[in-house]
Amino acid sequence: MPRKIIIDTDPGQDDAVAILLALASPEDIEILGITAVAGNVPLALTAKNARKVCEVAGRSDVKVFAGCDRPLAHALVTAEHVHGKTGLDGPDLPDPTMLLQDQHGVDFIIETLRVEPSGTVTLCPLGPLTNIATALQKAPDIAEKVQEIVLMGGAYFEVGNITPAAEFNIYVDPEAAEIVFKSGVPIVVMPLDVTHKALVTAPRNEAFRSLGTHPGTVVAEWTDFFERFDKEKYGSAGAPLHDPTVIAYLIRPDLFTGRYVNVEIETQSELTRGMTVADWWRVTDRAPNAMFMGDLDADGFFALLTERIARL
Ligand code: BDR
Ligand code: CA
């Protein structure tokens, strides 16, 4: 039976590839809805981009909701320097024709978790955790109904990408992250330690391009766009494809290894706000609260991604 999920996202080219991977995998994944959040770019753009992505896959039937337009306690920090002005720069895509749902994304999350049988819905946050935390605050009863939260965010050995100490998704809304990590819901984390190994090298991007399909070309062009920034920054062989690791984990958990450890979120310090303090070496007696991934089989990951994108 496919796993029922809600994708919570701030597209973002890598979010977009994650959505396509999920849409291309109906035997593994049933998308109940996509909730947009402010992150890489403001909410109006992420809500629009999520719909553009569905239309790239010819899936205007997917329900897309707009959620929170700002973090819980601080002003929004965006990442146009990485993702471009629209958040989805690269290929020239038409404005979506499908409509945004009227319901607020947070209410959709709450309602879905209340209606579906307990333990059957997985939340997949690919951006700041504002929508998820707001849902947990507004409706504490949903915590025990979530099957699992599989999220992209944080870092331990790789430390930070938006500040020296913090990864973008957690940095943008650390108060929300703290609520999520303290919620008691089973959590799987794809931190930079994993995603910095999911590099789109030239041959891997060529594999997308040479699929010869519209979605294949679009994926290659998204990557071409945001890799210019990462290559400059990290001098790496290609851009990290962060968010699709979350969806890949649902399909092929065997591609990932990690440790079940305690993860706390720094919310106070000016210097290290948004840091994920992961007790990787288990040097405290703080109770483990998350499966914190550390490694992936990158070739297996890209083989899966290419095979699935080819189906669209
Ligand atoms: C995360 O930040 C965003 O820019 C990406 O979409 C990803 O979710 C990586 O730090
Ligand atoms: Ca994202």
- Nearest atom (ligand 1) to Cα of 127: 8
| Element housing 123 (H / E) | strand 121-125
Torsion on CA atoms 59, 63, 69, 71, rounded to nearest 10? -100
User: Between β-strands 3-9 and 121-125, what pairing exists: parallel, antiparallel or unpaired?
Assistant: parallel
Q: 241-270, pLDDT tens digit by residue?
A: 999 999 999 999 999 999 999 999 999 999
Which domain CATH number covers 76? 3.90.245.10
- Per-residue pLDDT band for 229 (boundaries 50, 70, 90) equals confident
CA 243 remoteness from chain centre: 4
The pLDDT assigned to 115 comes to 98
The stretch 123-134 carries a mean pLDDT of 99
Q: Which one of 7, 9, 15, 40 would you pick to mutate in the ligand 1 pocket, going by the greatest count of ligand atoms within 8 A of its CB? A: 40
Residue 35 belongs to what H/E stretch? strand 29-36
The helix, strand and coil proportions of the chain, stated in percent and rounded to the nearest 5, come to: 40, 20, 40
Q: pLDDT above 90 covers what percent of the chain?
A: 95
pLDDT for 99 beyond 80? yes
Helix (H, G, I), strand (E, B) or coil at 231: helix
Q: For the chain, give the percent of residues with pLDDT over 70.
A: 100
CA of 61 from ligand 2 middle (Å) equals 22
pLDDT of residue 226: 83
- Give the 3-state secondary structure of residue 8: strand
Residue 232 reports pLDDT greater than 90:
no
**Which residues line ion ligand 2, judged by CB < 5 Å?**
10, 12, 15, 126-127, 243
pLDDT score of 58: 98
Q: What is the mean pLDDT of residues 5-33?
A: 98
Q: Is 292 exposed, middle or buried (0-12, 13-18, 19+ CB in 10 A)?
A: buried
Q: Is this model's pTM higher than 0.95 or not?
A: yes
Q: Determine the structural domain holding residue 170 and report its residue range.
A: 3-309
Which residue, judged by its Cα, is nearest atom 10 of ligand 1?
A: 168
| Distance, CA of 187 to chain centre | 13
Total domains in the chain come to 1
Q: How far apart are CA 124 and CA 195, in angstroms?
A: 15
Q: Torsion over CA of 252, 254, 258 and 260, rounded to 10 degrees?
A: 90
Mean local confidence (pLDDT), 5-23:
98
Q: Which pLDDT value is given to residue 21?
A: 98
Q: Which helix (H) or strand (E) holds 115?
A: helix 105-115
Per-residue pLDDT for 204 more than 90? Answer: yes
